[in-house]
Every structure is written in C-alpha cells, then in structure tokens.
Amino acid sequence: MTATPSTWDYDHYNASEERLRESLCTLGNGYFATRGALPECDADDTHYPGTYVAGCYNRLTSAVSGREVENEDMVNLPNWLPLRFRPVAGDWLTPDTAEVLDHRQTVHLDTGVLERRTSFGLAGGRVLSVRQLRLVHMADPHLAALRTQFTIDTGAVDLEVEAALDGGVTNSGVPRYRDLDGRHLTHVHTDSAADDTVWLRCRTRTSDIRVGMAARTTADAPVTAAREHLCVTQRTTLRAEPGRTVTVDKVVALHTSRDPAISDPLQAAVDRVADAPGFDELMVSHRRAWAQLWRRAELDVPGEAGSILRLHLFHVLQTLSPHTADLDVGVPARGLHGEAYRGHVFWDELFVLPYLNLHFPEVSRALLHYRHRRLERAVHAARAIGRRGALYPWQSGSDGREETQQLHLNPRSGRWLPDHSHLQHHVGSAIAYNVWQYCEASGDAEFLHTKGAEMLLQIARFWADSATWDEQLGRYRVRGVVGPDEYHEGYPGAERPGLDDNAYTNVTAAWVLTRTLEVLGDLPEPRRRELVERTALGDDELEQWDSVSRTLHIPFHNGVVSQFDGYGDLAELDWEGYRERYADIRRLDRILEAEGDSVNNYQASKQADVLMLGYLFSPAELHSLFERLGYRLEERTWQRTVDHYLARTSHGSTLSGLVHGWILARARRAEAWAYFQEALKGDVADLQGGTTGEGIHLGAMAGTLDLVQRGLTGLETRAGALWLDPVPLPELSSYGFAIRYQGHWGVRLRLEHGRLEIAVPAAGPLPIDVRLPDREVRLRPGDTCRLALPD
C-alpha cells in the first residue's frame, strides 16, 4: 500500500486483504455508497460487493440459541456493479481464477474516483489489460458510473462482456451474523426500458421500502439484454486489437421510496438514467463537486499522518455529505461501508459532529433533526421503565426504538450471550452535548430555542427522574447503568445487570441539567412559556434539577475518580500474563468469557470511561463541573486518574487510542503521539483484527480530524468567541486548516513552530473574538493575526 495526500494505492492482488481493501476503497456520496469490490467477482468468503442507502433498514426475526430474536439491519441493496468478461468460449476472468500479471487499485481522493488496472495472462502468451474507473456521483446523489477499458498487447481477441443488475443479494458480510436471517429483499422484478437500458425493482420484506434501479450500458458494439432469475443482464462482444482500446460504459441510477419528492422509485430511476449524460460529462461534474467539498474541508498536515487524515476525511465526506442535509438519517457507526453493527446509530456522533459543526453545519443540523424526530419515541421508552423525560436508545435505526441486540456471539467460545449494552443511557447526554456544541459553533439560536431546547429539556428531565436520594451519602445516585467502557455490565455474581454511579454518566448528567437550566433561563419569554405549557414544566421541577446537578454522587478510590461505585473493590488482572498468553488482548472480554471467567470481576476497561470526561471538557470546565458537584478535582488527582486507567485499558475499540491521545496531549505530551498513531492506523492497518473489512469506524476517523482541529489547538466555541490553547506535539509542529464559524466561511488557522496565524475572510458578517490563555484579540473581516505562543 502506498499513500499520498491525493491517492490511496494498492499495488498487487492479495485475496486475504480484499475485504479490508473493499472497505477502504468504498465510494459514496452521503445518499448511498458501494464497497470497492471488483465488478467481475461474486460475493463469497473473499469478496463482498455491498451497496447501502443511508437510512434504508429492514427488520427480521431469527431463531438463535433456542430464542426468537429480532434485528433491524441496514439493507444490502441490489448489486449494480457486476461486469464480467472473458475471451469468447473461454472462462470468465477473475484474479482468483486467472493468471494475474499485475494488479493495482487506486482511490483518487481529490476526485472521488476508484481506478483499477489489472493485466491478465491469456493463452499464447498474450496479455489483456483491464482499466476501470468508478464513481458514485457527488453532484447527483442518485447516479453511479463504471467505465471499463480493454487493451490486448498482441493478436486480436474477441471478448464477451456481461453487465448485470443483481437482486439476489443478502446481508452476509459479517460472519458472526450468519446465523441470522439476512434475506431482506423480495418481489424482485426486471425488464428492459430501452435498447441500452435495463431495470430492476424490489422491496424490503417488512419495512416495505421500494427500490428502483436502472442501468444504461453502452459499448463499441451492440448490447443485448436478457432476464434471469433475480437479475437482468446486458451482453456485448467486443473485438480487441493491438493498439486499440475498446470501452464499455455503465451508468446506474438508484432511488427508493424514502427519497424526498418521490412517487415511483423505478420510474424515477429509469428517467434519471435516460437523462444522465455520458461518462466523460459525468466525470466533469463529479470532480467539480469534490473540489468544492475539499475547499470547505481544507486540511494541511504534512507526512504520513496527513495522508491518513485525508483518507479519513474522504470517508467522512462520503458518508455525511451536504446531500445528508436533505435526509432523515443518523450517523452510522461503520459508515455506509459494510454491515457491522447492522448500520445502527450509536453515540459516534459525539466524535463526528464537532468536526462537521465547523465545516458543514447544515449536515450537523440534519443529524440532530434525526434525533429530534425520534424524541417522542425516546419519551415513550422512558415512560416504559417508569421514568419521565426522554430515554434515547443505545442503538438506533429507522424509528428510534432500542435496536441493541438481545444476544451477541463470542466468536472465541461460540456462545451466544445476553447483551446489556442498552443500559448505556449516557447516549442521551451525548445528544445534548451535540446540540450545545452545534449551536455554539454555528450561532443557530433558532434551533437552540426550538428543537434543541425540547431535546435538552426531556434529556435533563430523564436524568433528574433517574436520580434517587441516598440519605446516608446525602447525595443523589444513578443506579443500574453501563458506562462507555462497555466491558462492565454488572457486579461480580450479580443476578441483575447494571452498575451504580458511573462517574462519566453522573458528571455528564450534571452537565446536561446545568446547561438546560441556562438555556431555559435565556429563552425568549413567549417561547419559554410555550415550552413550559407543552411539557408541564413546573418551578419545583427546575429546583430539583438544580439540586441534582449539584449533588450527584461521584465515587473515588485510592485518590482517583472511580469508574463506578465499587470499582476499587474489583480484582487486579494479570495484564502481563494475559499479554504473554494471547499477544493481542484488545477483546479481553471475549478471552475471559471463553475461559469461563468474566471481565466484570476485574479492574479492566475496553476503552476510556472516566477519561472520556477529559475528552469532552476542557480542564477548566471539568474542574468547574466537579466544584459545582462539591468535589475538588485537583490536577494531581486527575493525573493519577489518567495513570490508573491507562494502565488498565485493553484498547478494544478504535476510539480508545483517539481519546487517550487527546488527553495525553495535555497530561503527558511525550506519550500522546503513540496513541494518536494508533487512532490514525486503526482502520488502515486493521488493528482490531479484521473488523475494518466489515465497515470503517466512522467515529474514530472523524475523531482524528477533530484531534487536529480542536484537540491540539484547544479550540472551543463558547460564549460567542473562539477560544484557543494550543499544545503542539513535537511530531506535529506544523499544520493548518480552515473552519466555518458563525457565518464566516473559510477562517484559516495555521500553527507552525510556535506561532499561530489566524486569517478571517474579508466577506464576513462581524468581527471574531479570539481568546487565548494570555491575551484576547478581535479580528475584523479581512484581518490576519500572527501570534507567538508560549513554550
């Protein structure tokens, strides 16, 4: 693999790496994405050509371990890629069945194009060179195109080429889900619409989403269509002669019944592909759309880190583009790149929206609309467990119900185990945090006063109603939850799941209550009155919120913040012994369960839990939160807390290196780079052992971008100002980027060798106040400021 800021290049064929490459070579536009599979290869243990439309889910019931379990999945839609080829009367050529003399795949990041070059050895020593260019159109989100070019070196050859639309696909891209029903499509019909155009329509089995797909195939010879079981094909025979390249172009349109302003998805697809220009013209408009995106997401980081960050940004933009602003979708944790986590929406937006807020705020707003549309469902979920307010699901999909699986498979032991991760109620605090961060960065008071205030109020109400008074402690407590660590779902030997007083949960709950009280106090009186009347919010309830926000219990042990009450009583794990026995202990929970043990018995974490507080809040704000709660969080206490958990974390998540790198940039700068490297390489090197082939980790990718944007610069958007407190790492002392801040498009920041430069574009609305630890600066539109930073 070779990486540059503009390309991601694989220079040979390796079947064992194909799933990983397919994920990292995925192309998308925010509406749909297609994995980077080779068009001539069928889905099997090596290849998996998935296509996914954002927000397209279907629910099925499966028999697992003697139980009926229901799961909702992001659906693998009909495969538009198939295009296979062979010498007439010969065998179909694939890298797995034919002689491959050379093979290269290149993702052109600047233009969003996947290029493939393969040289096949034919009989008689001849060489057939195949070049393909693929795009998923960034200007028209319903179009994709594939150009295939054939060149023979010596001796003419007749090539049979077959393109297809395949409706016989299933969801089978994740081995541990294969015991579950993956047949999501039904009523597959195909036919021709014109001499060069075929179509396929189908629908999902239970969500009844109608899908229409049409393909126009043109070649240097006539094309004929044929209907087959669950698919439709188009065939042509090309005469390839030395020195002459022959070409087949395939343009595809995709619509579903979830699209805005749609009547018949099939007719829409047929009409769109008929109106679509040729491949060359499509390429021009596609490249222009990508150029516009890159200008808005300007990023300049040198070296290998910069190349990987560009790839991360590429995949973030393919999953959440400006087209997302028109859709009712959330942030899929694994992008639109595969079927891991079933395409569900977790808390990953906590790591994604802070980046988007400062580049594509309209996309952030749309993602928050997804949460607001499901507020009623969250209120219902809280009511179902006897609480007031809103209980958002840990895993969300189509309608906002809890989608967390009832059972999960441990591949090490082969056992299906109860899954209690739905007790991660802290997802509500993440949503509230995102509302606040978006409004601070964008200045969108209208959203804050309407939908934002409604979500904040109901999330705050849930936390206040979840807190119970403990007379002995003289404090409120929140019981029966699971924290971000995810390993610990209960106490050793306990019959019921859940933990008491998870520190992260309680501190963020106190933050939500405090912020919501501030927002309610600042609302325009008519709007406040409407909200109070609609929600029956009384003064006594507000008084209770204030009390809870000041007296929630935060446990400590041995001079450090405890992950949860009783954490300090757990046994210590023999970390060195387990590393010697297993080498890779990232999924320590699976190792221990396979041994008949449980991670619940030990002081061991999968990823940051308490330390997530240092990721969300600046040191000053974190200290203020603890003071409001009646605790002193001294610097040495926080340092001990960092040391304690860093030594007891297995880093079983791609988010782990990110969060620890962020924290160590301020706590122990010399160690931060190693964790930043881990976060950078989590997907490109597949550090979690095969998981990237099932889909990228979108939160970690966006988080690495935000680590440069906010983590190393100390950038905060609060109180109407840009706050900066840079901590340049020796390994990354020079970098720059542009942001969009409260109506200013293209505010440029550059850090270089102890100097900070800020440039405000001339066409801005108002001055920007910039605050650093030792000074304040007001920059008017058109101003550039250069500041020397303290050592």
What type of residue is 706?
D
Per-residue model confidence (pLDDT) at position 178: 86
Per-residue model confidence (pLDDT) at position 374: 98
Contact 332, 74 (CB under 8 A): yes
What is the distance between the alpha carbons of residues 614 and 664, in angstroms, rounded to a whole number? 10
Please, what is the average pLDDT of the chain?
Answer: 96
What is the distance between the alpha carbons of residues 372 and 455, in angstroms, rounded to a whole number? 7
Per-residue model confidence (pLDDT) at position 565: 98
Per-residue model confidence (pLDDT) at position 694: 97
What is the distance between the alpha carbons of residues 641 and 659, in angstroms, rounded to a whole number? 14
Backbone angles phi, psi at 632, to 5 degrees: -100, 115
Per-residue model confidence (pLDDT) at position 179: 85
CB atoms within 10 A of CB 156: 11
CB atoms within 10 A of CB 536: 8
**Percent of the chain predicted with pLDDT > 90:** 92
What is the distance between the alpha carbons of residues 535 and 399, in angstroms, rounded to a whole number? 22
Is 90 exceeded by the pLDDT of residue 728? no
What is the distance between the alpha carbons of residues 578 and 585, in angstroms, rounded to a whole number? 7
- Angle formed by the axes of helices 361-373 and 427-442, to 10°? 140
Contact 180, 64 (CB under 8 A): yes
Per-residue model confidence (pLDDT) at position 8: 96
Contact 655, 678 (CB under 8 A): no
Where do we find the tokens 């757990």? 570
What is the distance between the alpha carbons of residues 381 and 401, in angstroms, rounded to a whole number? 8
Quick one: average pLDDT of 44-64?
Answer: 96
For residue 471, CA distances in Å to 278, 474, 501, 551, 557 come to 74, 5, 15, 12, 21
Is 90 exceeded by the pLDDT of residue 710? yes
What is the distance between the alpha carbons of residues 687 and 274, in angstroms, rounded to a whole number? 44
Contacts of 493 (CB under 8 A, 6+ apart): none
Is 80 exceeded by the pLDDT of residue 653? yes
* Short-list 30, 240, 294, CA closest to 127: 240
What is the distance between the alpha carbons of residues 40 and 95, in angstroms, rounded to a whole number? 9
Quick one: average pLDDT of 759-766?
Answer: 90
Query: pLDDT digit string (tens) for 433-446?
Result: 999 999 999 999 99
What is the distance between the alpha carbons of residues 236 and 162, in angstroms, rounded to a whole number? 7
What is the distance between the alpha carbons of residues 377 and 666, in angstroms, rounded to a whole number? 40
Contacts of 331 (CB under 8 A, 6+ apart): 319, 320, 345, 348, 349, 352, 353, 367, 698, 699
Query: pLDDT digit string (tens) for 375-430?
Result: 999 999 999 999 999 999 999 999 999 999 888 889 999 999 999 999 999 999 99
Structure tokens at 572: 């210590």
Per-residue model confidence (pLDDT) at position 597: 96
In this structure, the chain runs to a length of: 791
CB atoms within 10 A of CB 786: 11
Using CA atoms in the order 649, 650, 656, 659, what is the torsion angle rounded to 10 degrees?
A: 20
Q: Which helix (H) or strand (E) holds 126?
A: none
Confidence of residue 488 (pLDDT cuts 50, 70, 90): very high
Helix then strand then coil, in percent of the chain rounded to 5, is: 35, 25, 35
Per-residue model confidence (pLDDT) at position 65: 80
Contacts of 14 (CB under 8 A, 6+ apart): none
- In terms of phi and psi (left: phi > 0; alpha: psi -120 to 50; beta: otherwise), the region of 632 is beta
**What is the Cα gyration radius of the chain?**
27
- In terms of phi and psi (left: phi > 0; alpha: psi -120 to 50; beta: otherwise), the region of 785 is beta
Structure tokens at 234: 């188009």
Structure tokens at 678: 């881990």
Query: pLDDT digit string (tens) for 672-696?
Result: 999 999 999 999 999 888 899 999 9
Is 80 exceeded by the pLDDT of residue 791? no
Residues marked active site are found at 486
Per-residue model confidence (pLDDT) at position 668: 77
CB atoms within 10 A of CB 775: 8
CB atoms within 10 A of CB 629: 19
Using CA atoms in the order 353, 359, 365, 366, what is the torsion angle rounded to 10 degrees?
A: -90
Per-residue model confidence (pLDDT) at position 669: 78
- In terms of phi and psi (left: phi > 0; alpha: psi -120 to 50; beta: otherwise), the region of 185 is beta
DSSP state of 528: H
Q: What is the pTM of this model?
A: 0.97
4-34: buried (b, 16+ CB within 10 Å) or exposed (e) per residue?
A: ebebbebeebeeebbbbbbbbbbbbbbbbbb
Q: Which helix (H) or strand (E) holds 200?
A: strand 197-204
Per-residue model confidence (pLDDT) at position 64: 85
440-474: buried (b, 16+ CB within 10 Å) or exposed (e) per residue?
A: bbbbbeebbbbbbbbbbbbbbbbbbbbbeeeeeee
Q: What is the DSSP string of 432-489?
A: HHHHHHHHHHH--HHHIIIIIHHHHHHHHHHHHHH-EEETTTTEEE--SB--TT-S--
What is the distance between the alpha carbons of residues 621 and 719, in angstroms, rounded to a whole number? 13
Contact 476, 470 (CB under 8 A): yes
Query: pLDDT digit string (tens) for 468-484?
Result: 999 999 999 999 999 99
Contacts of 432 (CB under 8 A, 6+ apart): 455, 456, 459, 460, 511, 512, 515, 516
DSSP state of 39: T
Query: pLDDT digit string (tens) for 286-335?
Result: 999 999 999 999 999 999 999 999 999 999 999 999 999 999 999 999 99
Is 80 exceeded by the pLDDT of residue 790? no
What is the distance between the alpha carbons of residues 572 and 516, in angstroms, rounded to a whole number? 39
* Short-list 424, 393, 593, 403, CA closest to 498: 424
Per-residue model confidence (pLDDT) at position 764: 78
Quick one: average pLDDT of 505-512?
Answer: 98
Is 90 exceeded by the pLDDT of residue 667? no
